[in-house]
Structures are given as C-alpha cells and as structure tokens.
C-alpha cells in the first residue's frame, strides 16, 4: 500500500487515498447497517456506539494487530520518523484495505471483513453505549496526545473455574494503568480506566500551568519621549 510520502518520492505511482475514501464510506455503512438491524437503541445511542468503533484510534489498533505497518510503502523521511506505527497512517491504511476488499468482492466480502475485525468491539460498546468503554477513550486520548497506541499486558492466576486476570497498560512506553477482573476484558477495561483517569488529570494540569502572555515590556524610547512627571502634575493628581 502506497502512502503519499512514497508517491512524492516515486514519480508515476498512485497513493491509496482514493481507496481510503471509499473504505471509510463502506466501513461506516456496514457498521450502521449492523447496528440498526441488531440493536433496539435510539438514534443518539446508535451514533455513540458507531463513533466508538468507527474512528482512527480503533482502526489503528486493528491495523497494528494485523501488522499492516510492515506492508506500507513510505517515503524515506516518513519511514525514518516511525510512520509505520503512527495511528493516523495505520487507520488510513485500514480504510484502504476495506475499500480494496469492497472493490474486489463487493458488499458481502466487505461486510464479512468489517464484522470480523470490529464485531467484538461493537458488541462491547453496545452493552453500555457512550458510557464506560474506557479502552476506546484511552485509545482516542493516546492517539490525539501521544501519537501512539495503548499496549496491554495481561496475566491470569488461579484454577480454570476461578481465574483472576491482571492487566497493565502502557502509553508512550510508560505503564499508566493497572486493573483486574474476572475476565481479560474486565481487567483491560479496569486498566484503561486507571490510565485514562491519570492521563486526563495530567493533561488538565498541564493546560492550567500554561503561563499567561507576559505584558509587553515598556519601550524605553517611548518613556523618554513622554518625559518625567512634573511636580505640578503630581500635586494636581
């Protein structure tokens, strides 16, 4: 798949941007159609569920799971700066794949692909639309502020009938959240909530700490031109 940075350095090649455009539309329609037919939810809640899976953070995570980054054709500068791991580039590439599958196999093939990749996420989001899906919230925050994706590490303890799962999540190489639960999903959600809470607080604190614009220094030339304040002026005041 050819990124525009590759095309800029390789005359005569065409990027995947047209396929990205098509794939974005196909993705949205597949998810919308599935939600409408499957869930008896009001319009606003359907929109929230769709937004939780049809976004660059979710697509980038799926692309990373599929190792799409290794299949990208990137310009030298983009490649050297870590373009194969950038969420925005991975999300666009995932859209291009969906568009290509639609062009090759039509609606049915595209629907099978999209639901195979996002069906579980849709189900999770529909259980509590707009509410407690902290994995999605953390994905969006990490993609927006750190240009990276959360990475989860999960271990389990105990016998099969009473396992307990423990998860940690790292953003930007640092462990930001930990959680546990009776399933892997619960543990990851707990860790995501812990990390999202911490990173959101740090972002808010950083915004508050931004210094106000300092007052412009007085121009010595203007001060000299104005002259000293006379005694009469002071007495008149």
Is 157 annotated in the active site? no
* Identified catalytic residue from 95, 111, 133, 188: 95
CB 26 within 8 A of CB 105: no
Is 95 annotated in the active site? yes
The structure tokens 């990205």 sit at 20
The structure tokens 């390789």 sit at 10
* Identified catalytic residue from 20, 24, 92, 133: 24
Alpha helices in 66-183, H assignment, sequence order: 76-80, 87-127, 134-146
Rounded to whole angstroms, how far apart are CA atoms 110 and 100? 9
Task: State the Rg of the chain over Cα.
Answer: 26
Nearest to 151 by CA among 173, 119, 130: 173
CB 145 within 8 A of CB 199: yes
Q: Residue 75 to residues 42, 57, 71, 171: CA-CA distances in angstroms?
A: 45, 23, 13, 26
Nearest to 97 by CA among 24, 171, 180, 158: 24
Which residues are annotated as catalytic? 24, 95
């Amino acid at each position: 798949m050819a990124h525009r940075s590759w095309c800029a350095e390789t005359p005569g090649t065409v990027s995947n941007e047209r396929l990205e455009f098509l794939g974005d539309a196909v993705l949205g329609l597949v998810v919308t159609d599935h939600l409408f037919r499957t869930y008896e939810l009001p319009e606003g809640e359907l929109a929230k569920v769709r937004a939780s899976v049809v976004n660059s953070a979710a697509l980038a995570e799926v692309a990373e799971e599929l190792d799409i980054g290794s299949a990208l054709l990137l310009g030298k500068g983009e490649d050297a700066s870590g373009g194969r791991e950038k969420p925005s580039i991975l999300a666009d590439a995932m859209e291009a794949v969906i568009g290509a599958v639609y062009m090759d196999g039509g609606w049915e093939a595209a629907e099978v692909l999209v639901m195979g990749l996002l069906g579980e996420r849709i189900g999770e989001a529909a259980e509590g639309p707009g509410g407690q899906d902290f994995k999605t919230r953390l994905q969006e925050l990490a993609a927006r502020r750190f240009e990276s994706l959360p990475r989860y590490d999960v271990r389990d303890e105990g016998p099969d009938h009473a396992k307990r799962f423990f998860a940690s999540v790292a953003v930007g190489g640092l462990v930001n959240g930990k959680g546990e639960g009776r399933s892997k999903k619960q543990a990851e959600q707990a860790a995501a909530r812990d990390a999202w809470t911490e990173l959101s607080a740090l972002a808010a604190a950083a915004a508050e700490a931004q210094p106000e614009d300092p007052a412009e220094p007085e121009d010595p030339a203007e001060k000299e031109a104005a002259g000293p304040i006379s005694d009469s002026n002071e007495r008149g005041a």
